[in-house]
Structure 1
């Protein structure tokens, strides 16, 4: 009798977890899959300040900065590079580029801000010196996917919009690690884009993010998160973004591209650093993200137990339904974000997420590293 109750309990728990997953996919993530931007009769051309913070990035600056400087844009814009205490040849490289590109401004920082951790001080200095209201951010290791990146991102600043979330993609390279990195990037974007479309924006990525300078100063910049090394992108967006002031831009011409890490060790270190900020999100966001993660983590173990101890034929119904819904939404969303080649690995990547959460769960309790480089 006890065994029968236990068997049913496992199946009911598995069914409940499946329903939670279906709720997230049908209520939230479907929004990105079916998203169609509103047709605009006329584009806008705001004056824009592009800001890039760099520390010991001479090779990346040489490789990627020209892609930012050569954007096709018909009105006023500037590119500000904050060279943060670099000891490589960045200073000389930037001085040489300034001779050719007069719209580029360089801010040389030669002292550390002891009470402000991470990238926030150099970024704040760049925003302070920016001449224009629209601020567009990217990183030194990123290059715009097209010469229309600047135009596409700034065009989303319609009346009332103060934050624009873009997609920072990774280059497609050989190897399975590359697929895992790009899938994790896609899966994260699926969440923050879909939540924004549902009126619950909670993060953005500094590789491709824009907001108004006035918004930054009205919220006293990073003052409330200066003690946290990272979070200059996601925590700031978590604080200031609302359902009414946030838009997304997923035109492929508006993506940025980065070269992903090439070793497992480097990637896990990078992701661990990023996850240390999640504990500082708003409570409602932590609840929604935590419930989704927990249900994803429990899904395959409960399926296995249900198939073994209950009835494998009944257990196929919830898993089949979930895989059908997830597959349809992933396929459409991957196509929108230019990651459609990943879909052939759909089931492998879905199972991989169980192990992914095991690997990175400890990062939620780690103390963040104090340096951003």
Structure 2
């Protein structure tokens, strides 16, 4: 029995090595990215529902981007607070703002995809750049840097959506480490030619990609997934690229309570069951190997079975994973979270297991 567990443990370490060095290394060890400004007309699209505090602070940052030709499409998704009134005030203040008002629709109530579809159709330009109402770019060159990665062939650009730092908060480090790991996976698989996800906080695509897939129609009834399910369906090795230039990052306020963050994670994870088969397999294999890497050595060490080899493999695995994620953290300006590795990683693995169990019995439904 112990021989089988030991053999499985060796296999798990090998799988982890392949993921971290072979797959994630495509992004982590990649050269710094270059930017060649394209200056193509851009429509920036922001969908908001009950976001009056955020839009008050962040819309001016978006409207005042240093870019020669762009419009800002603001979509009010039937807000019940002052979001619409603020949008109307901004529309009068900035000549490059276009307002889309979404009324409650019984068939699509609470569905962000319906609201986004109206905004995409109303957009003036063919190249679309998306962010959320609670997000803000790090610089006035956000549009310039994201659009710089478009080419004739590359019509989908995946960007990095980060979270603000909160000093002294372990939850904040946990959230940001999870975001770092997810981004490393997203960018790495896209570089390999197997893009599978994107984040609505920061991504861009040409409108023709939206219509090629008939928009969100295949997953309109799934409340989440306006970003990852669309990318999973529309992206491929030919049309997709990534942007990790620091000036292209967006930031948003992270959750400050574990319950709120856990609910958010459940909503995000719920869409993964609708991914393509290969993507579900590779994601499942990675997280299973993560979990087994924690469990199997405990059993082996309790029985002191090949303990020197087991400890050596544990150290080897943490060395290559720490180095790989460390390089990724450097690119994404998240180095401070690596000081808490592997404590954060261990916590995250068990939280993800809890999310999976919770979603098995009850799935979240609304985006707001």
Q: In structure 1, the residue corresponding to 2:153 is in which secondary structure? A: coil
Distance, in Å, in 2 between the alignment partners of 1:31 and 1:363 is 33
Give the one of 294, 298, 301 matched to 1:304.
Answer: 298
Structure 1 residue 180 and structure 2 residue 187: aligned? no
User: Which segments of 5 or more consecutive residues in structure 1 lack a partner in the other structure?
Assistant: 1-5
Structure 1 residue 334 and structure 2 residue 329: aligned? yes
Task: Give the structure 1 partner of residue 94 of structure 2.
Answer: 101
CA deviation string 1:148-178 (max 9, x = no partner): 1011111111110111000000001021010
Give the one of 35, 51, 58 matched to 2:52.
Answer: 58
Measure how far apart 1:370 and its partner are: 3.3
Structure 1 residue 131 and structure 2 residue 124: aligned? yes
Task: Give the structure 1 partner of residue 150 of structure 2.
Answer: 157
Distance 1:113 1:214, change over 3 A: farther
Instruction: Report the count of equivalent residues.
Output: 366
Distance 1:367 1:123, change over 3 A: farther
Distance, in Å, in 2 between the alignment partners of 1:333 and 1:327 is 10
Distance, in Å, in 2 between the alignment partners of 1:128 and 1:370 is 25
Structure 1 residue 11 and structure 2 residue 6: aligned? yes
CA deviation string 1:307-342 (max 9, x = no partner): 222132121121111111111101111010110011
CA deviation string 1:277-310 (max 9, x = no partner): 0000000110011111100011011011122221
Q: In structure 2, the residue corresponding to 1:277 is in which secondary structure? A: helix
CA contact (8 A) 1:119 1:372 kept: yes
Give the one of 253, 259, 264 matched to 2:253.
Answer: 259
CA contact (8 A) 1:113 1:121 kept: no
Please show how residues 318-329 of structure 1 align to structure 2 within 5 Å. Answer: 318-329=313-324
Task: Give the structure 2 partner of residue 286 of structure 1.
Answer: 280
Give the one of 240, 245, 261 matched to 2:239.
Answer: 245
Structure 1 residue 28 and structure 2 residue 23: aligned? yes
Distance, in Å, in 1 between the alignment partners of 2:18 and 2:155 is 29
Measure how far apart 1:207 and its partner are: 0.3
Task: Give the structure 2 partner of residue 201 of structure 1.
Answer: 195
Measure how far apart 1:353 and its partner are: 3.0
Distance 1:146 1:366, change over 3 A: farther
Structure 1 residue 121 and structure 2 residue 114: aligned? yes
Task: Give the structure 1 partner of residue 163 of structure 2.
Answer: 170
Distance, in Å, in 2 between the alignment partners of 1:58 and 1:39 is 36
TM-score normalised by length of structure 1 = 0.95
CA contact (8 A) 1:117 1:226 kept: no
CA deviation string 1:216-271 (max 9, x = no partner): 01211011111111111000000010011111001111000001001011100111
CA contact (8 A) 1:276 1:367 kept: no
Q: In structure 2, the residue corresponding to 1:371 is in which secondary structure? A: coil
Distance, in Å, in 2 between the alignment partners of 1:67 and 1:34 is 32
Task: Give the structure 2 partner of residue 315 of structure 1.
Answer: 310
Please show how residues 41-52 of structure 1 align to structure 2 within 5 Å. Answer: 42-52=36-46
Let me know the Cα RMSD of the aligned residues: 1.4
Distance, in Å, in 1 between the alignment partners of 2:232 and 2:94 is 35
Task: Give the structure 2 partner of residue 3 of structure 1.
Answer: none
TM-score normalised by length of structure 2 = 0.96
Task: Give the structure 2 partner of residue 357 of structure 1.
Answer: 352
